[in-house]
Chains A and B, each alone.
Chain A
Amino acid sequence: MAVTTRKAPAAAARHRRPLLRRGLSFEGKMLSPALLVLAAVSIFPFIYIIAMSLSSVRMIGGISFDWVGLDNWTRLFGDGAVWGSWLRSIMFFVLSVGLQMSLGIGIALAIYETRRGRNIITSLVLMPMFMAPVIVGLLGRFLTDSTYGLYAWFLDTIGLYNGDILGSRTSAFLAVTLMDVWEWTPLIALIVLAGLTSMPKQVLEAAAIDGASYWSRLRDIVLPMISGVIIVALLIRSMDAIRYFDIITNTTNGGPADATKIVPIRLYETAFRFFDLGYAAAIGLSMLAVTILMANLFMRILKQRGLAR
């Protein structure tokens, strides 16, 4: 896959024709079934969630929307609990993505240096990211169980921690963060490794001959060369970190004392435990706004790297 044949500009120009001329062009015909289905499953729900955010939605005996204008939105901006959840989301985001990035880059560098068994090591390292997050959460719960959890026993034995890991605020927050880090660090490693292997070898060899130490080669040559790939990895993980949901739902469910109640968890609780669907819609749209900002950034970087055509 490393060899990519870019389309010549001339060929591109030859294909430049209006989408709609004498009916639909071939490309248009190819695109339309998928776009129609996508529109059906996305545009309609999008309009719906906007309408919901402007209403008080009642689920008793069918569904009724009562127009309340911007009530949900003004409530959202004044709701300390939701702000608290955003704060937790940001804390989770910084800690989780930060750890994943640094560990992922480290793992990629270590695998890159490995000659023997590189394939099998890579495969083993990648395994967690194929796991259903719900299983990661339940497994994490098993490992941290204060009576027979392997990791709880280990932490107790080395004298680091002997309490109920998911039962107190700081350790619970750290535990659910580490579960996400465990599952997704491999993805960062995989992406960075792809960046490393695509580096031209000559530059590095020249630097090594010049006597540059490993760390200075890393800092001055390797990291700058793969910075684009690192940014892509960062953005991919960032967009997912905002939606983090399954693991927390199946471990702490937002507790103890709201310590792990990040925005998606609060949204879900607002909607499906308190059935305040209008308000939940407003929270959901605010999350969507953040995601769209990130998607925008992602697209801009894709374009810069000449990858979005």
Chain B
Amino acid sequence: MKPARGGVGSRIGLPVVLGVILLWTVVPLAWMVLSSFKPTEDLTATTPILAFAPTLEHYDALFSGGNNIGPYIRNSLIAAGISTVVAVVLGCLAGYGLARSRFRGKDHVAFWIISQRMAPIAAVILPLFVIFRFTGLLGSTWGLIVAYLTFNLPFAIWIMNAFFSELSPSLEEAAMIDGATRWSAFRDVALPLVLPGIATTAILCLVFSWNDYAFAVTFSGPDSQTLPIAASQLVTQTSIDWGQLTAIGTIVVAPMILVGLIVRKWLVTGLTLGAVTGE
């Protein structure tokens, strides 16, 4: 659509609107990153300070002494990483199976899968808490991995199903006429064609589980706490160390924004569970 001639969306109006949008979106993030480099006295000034001598003291504090966040980072990486890998591998297989099969009751299976993704976390936490307590998974990283699978696995199956469904089966059929087995038609023909889909699925699974707070706060123990827990633990009854908090916030957020934007082109497909495609 061309900018309307003489309409409200005129040449002057649009930049102003865009400016407001960008301010609204970027200011909180920029303020967080900026604050993480501010000396403590500038941080707690009653009027906002923009000119300050940048310091790494808050980052230093996060990696030294009693509240070293190193173990938290490791726990986050392990829990999010393993659940992502398991979800993507199983999701690729099942997504392909679902996309290519035409059995009776397929709709019900599909509905069951997607309803698992949409189930409210609070309702999933309760039974898992009791079950984990029974089985000794409470407080372990394995418990977290299982918990993350409850949302990552149905998500991965569903998205990979969407990506495989967009692929015409004719290529695989041609390969099979040339003597390929079903498996090699899947592995050598279909799978390479959905690499963007696999990357999108993997990154979104990673983002979901890396960002999780509700499961981690309920299921993790002293040895398995993740980064979001470390962040919320910086808030105590008496005081909040905003320097460390904005620093840890930057550490939690920056990698996810980076990987998220890498797959921007396919994000819509992923985040609408395959209902909308393209950019």
Contacts and interface: CB of A to CB of B under 8 A. Distances in A.
A249 to B, nearest CB: 7
Contacts of B269: 1
A307 interface: yes
B235 A142 contact: no
A87 interface: no
Contacts of A23: none
A32 B165 CA distance: 18
A298 to B, nearest CB: 7
B131 A45 contact: yes
A44 B126 contact: no
Q: Binding site of A, secondary structure by majority: helix, strand, loop or mixed?
A: helix
Given A127-B25, A229-B276, A287-B122, A132 B228 contact: yes
B248 to A, nearest CB: 8
A277 B260 CA distance: 37
A49 B127 contact: yes
B35 interface: yes
A195 B231 contact: no
Interface string A186-226: 11001101110110000011001000011101000010000
A158 interface: no
Contacts of A292: 115, 118
Interface stretch (B52-60, B64-72, B145-153): B145-153
Contacts of B45: 148
A186 to B, nearest CB: 7
Interface in B172-228: 173, 182-183, 186, 196, 207, 210-214, 217-218, 227-228
B120 A264 contact: yes
B119 A291 contact: yes
Contact of B97 (A31, A272, A277): A31
B101 A280 contact: no
A162 B231 CA distance: 28
Contacts of A46: 127
A57 B273 CA distance: 36
Contacts of B78: none
A299 interface: yes
**Range for the number of chain B residues in contact with chain A:** 35 or more
B116 A38 contact: yes
B61 interface: no
A182 B29 CA distance: 11
A76 interface: no
B118 A291 contact: yes
Contact of A113 (B14, B121, B235): B14
A190 B9 CA distance: 20
B268 interface: yes
Contacts of B17: 106, 110
A34 interface: yes
Interface string B8-22: 110000100110011
Contacts of B119: 42, 288, 291
A208 to B, nearest CB: 6
Nearest to B183: A26
A74 interface: no
A25 B97 CA distance: 10
B139 interface: no
B127 A48 contact: yes
A254 to B, nearest CB: 13
Nearest to A142: B242
A70 interface: no
For the complex of A and B, the 10 pairs showing the least CB-CB separation, nearest first, are: A30-B97, A214-B4, A27-B101, A34-B94, A284-B123, A2-B278, A214-B7, A132-B211, A31-B97, A45-B127
Given A138-B245, A141-B235, A142-B32, 19 more contacts: A2-B277, A4-B166, A11-B169, A18-B103, A27-B97, A41-B149, A41-B150, A63-B130, A130-B211, A130-B256, A208-B2, A242-B120, A246-B214, A263-B122, A271-B126, A284-B122, A301-B275, A307-B162, A308-B107
Interface of B: 1-4, 7-9, 14, 17-18, 21-22, 24-29, 31-32, 35, 43-48, 86, 90-91, 93-94, 96-104, 107, 109-111, 113-116, 118-131, 133-134, 146, 149-150, 153-154, 157, 162, 165-170, 173, 182-183, 186, 196, 207, 210-214, 217-218, 227-228, 231-232, 234-235, 240, 242, 245-246, 249, 252-253, 256-257, 260-261, 264-269, 271-279
16 contacts: A5-B167, A11-B170, A28-B103, A34-B157, A106-B17, A127-B29, A131-B257, A132-B212, A135-B249, A197-B278, A208-B4, A213-B4, A217-B1, A243-B120, A264-B121, A307-B162
